Amino acid sequence: MKIKNIMAREVLDSRGNPTVEAEITLEDGSTARGISPSGASTGEKEAVELRDGDQSRYQGKGVEKAVAGINQEVKRTVIGSAFADQVAFDQVLIDLDGTPNKARLGANAILAASIAFARVNAVSKKIPLYRQLIERDTYVMPVPCMNVINGGRHADNNLDFQEFMIAPHNAPSFKESIRMGEEVFHSLRGLLKSKGYYTGVGDEGGFAPNLKSNEEAMEVILEAIQKAGYKPGADISICLDPATSEMWQDGKYLFYKSDQRQLSTEELITLWDKWIKQYPIVLLEDGLGENDWKGWKQMTAALGNKVELVGDDIFCTNPAIIAEGIREGIGNSVLIKLNQIGTITETLEAVKLAQANNYNCFISHRSGETEDTTIADLVVATNAGHIKTGSGCRSERISKFNQLLRIEEELGAKASFAGIKTFKI
């Protein structure tokens, strides 16, 4: 089917920053949109966003240049053409950009167009997006890893570690697991309030209380799980993303917010080992920083058979870096973020590579999100079994949960719930 029109516009993300929305219309009249998310704790090797740098609009964060790239160059190239598949379309965008990190047209522009193309084909074929991405007979519904306490770069006031997540895995379905997660979220609100803490939320919809230590965050979450009537570990486990690249300075990990101390790589691995023994942790993302490859090898040797070790900043959803990580024995799971690499095709390539090498894939949102729910379909399409897309409130996060509820209902007997076995433990 030929592309009749493609256009882009500047819209806003959940932090009130501009981002790119692309819209494609096919000759059969089908129309669909895609919107790029945006990160705060970004990996150094991520594909880059194109921002205007013109201080008169949004303090330089405007995306009019990225929008213009779609409205002019990309439009001239793709209009009136038919593309055999997603790979063919994305390759045109990659070639047109011509840089290794999508800096010229911008990964924010390229991803929005790539998503719009996937969606418009689903619309044209009258099939759901997850089936457009990967056609299967049966699909796996993910465990929602809900970020209930926000710290690090996602909250100004409190903890060093960025994300404290609950994983309600002892459930028969996604619908029941999200209910369990929400019950704990509300129980946590009550508990924080009763302890005199502030219950406002951070960027990803988790609470951002002024807790005194990272340990206190763990304790209060465990208490909230119990108060909601569940057993920590048996019903609901903990996942962490301390985002330690943000703490890495001169070869040490600097605790810059709640605790005033610094740890060596070895000391931080020892801390994780202690935490894994002490708390029901099933997943640790970015337990060490992106430039600490040697440390990652040590950590994988020490903890790789006890907990899922997810690489976010270290892999940047980049198939070439993931391949190197697999060769080097780094981690046992890959965080998957569409805008770290910039196209649907390369994202699916990253997933395929990881899964073929017995690595898990943990599908993820960004801290700056929108109403675009592509990652909900992506986690189902890839049978990745777990997703992180924030917490129990804020619609840009809930929209993904709601889409998963719709997908589960639509799949009926063709869907099974991932449960605890999805984690590499």
* CA geometry: angle 180, 183, 184, nearest 5 deg: 90
C-alpha dist (Å) from residue 209 to 60, 139, 189, 218:
31, 37, 10, 13
Q: Which residue is nearest to Mg ion (CB)?
A: 312
Give the residue from 325, 329, 166 showing the smallest Cα distance to 241.
166
**3-state class of 309 per DSSP?**
strand
Residue 271: contacted member of Mg ion, ligand 2PG, none (CB under 5 to 8 Å, by partner type): none
Which residue ranges are tagged as binding site?
154, 162-163, 241, 285, 312, 337, 364-367, 388
**Min. distance of Cβ 289 from ligand 2PG in angstroms?**
12
State how far the alpha carbon of 179 is from the alpha carbons of 172, 184, 189, 211, 374, in Å.
11, 9, 15, 26, 22
Residue 237 contacts which entry, ligand 2PG, Mg ion, none (Cβ below 5-8 A, type-dependent): none
Only one residue has tokens 């198939």, namely 319
Length of the chain: 425
What are the tokens at 422?
């999805």
State the sign of the Cα–Cα–Cα–Cα dihedral 93, 97, 99, 103: negative
Piece of 39-47, 111-119, 319-327, 403-411 that binds ligand 2PG (CB under 6 A) = 39-47
Q: Based on CB atoms, which residue is closest to ligand 2PG, 49 or 241?
A: 241
Binding-site positions for (2R)-2-phosphoglycerate = 162, 337, 366-367, 388
- CB 223, min distance to ligand 2PG, A: 24
- Per-residue x/- marks for ligand 2PG, 295-334, CB under 6 A? -----------------x----------------------
Which one of 367, 370, 382, 422 is in contact with ligand 2PG (CB under 6 A)?
A: 367
Q: How far is the CB of 374 from ligand 2PG (least distance, A)?
A: 15
- Asked if 42 interacts with ligand 2PG (CB under 6 A), we say yes
- Which amino acid does the sequence have at 413? A
The residue among 370, 363, 375, 366 whose CA lies nearest residue 396 is 370
Residues forming beta bridges with residue 12, ordered by sequence position: 18
Residue in 108, 114, 177, 364 binding ligand 2PG, rule: CB under 6 A: 364
Based on the shown chain and the rule CB under 5 A, indicate whether residue 290 belongs to the binding site for Mg ion: no
- Binds 372, which of ligand 2PG, Mg ion, none (CB < 5 to 8 A, cut-off by type)? none
Q: Give the single-character DSSP code of 370.
A: -
**What is the spatial distance between Cα 53 and Cα 37, in angstroms, rounded to a whole number?**
18
The phi-psi region of residue 196 (left if phi > 0; otherwise alpha if psi is between -120 and 50; otherwise beta) is left
Q: Is 312 in the site for Mg ion (CB under 5 A)?
A: yes
Residues tagged active-site: 204, 337
Q: Which stretch binds ligand 2PG (CB under 6 A): 37-45, 165-173, 315-323, 325-333?
A: 37-45
Does residue number 160 form part of the binding site for Mg ion (CB under 5 A)?
no
Per CB under 6 A, 41 contacts ligand 2PG: yes
Question: Which residues define the annotated binding site for substrate?
Answer: 154, 163, 285, 312, 364-367, 388
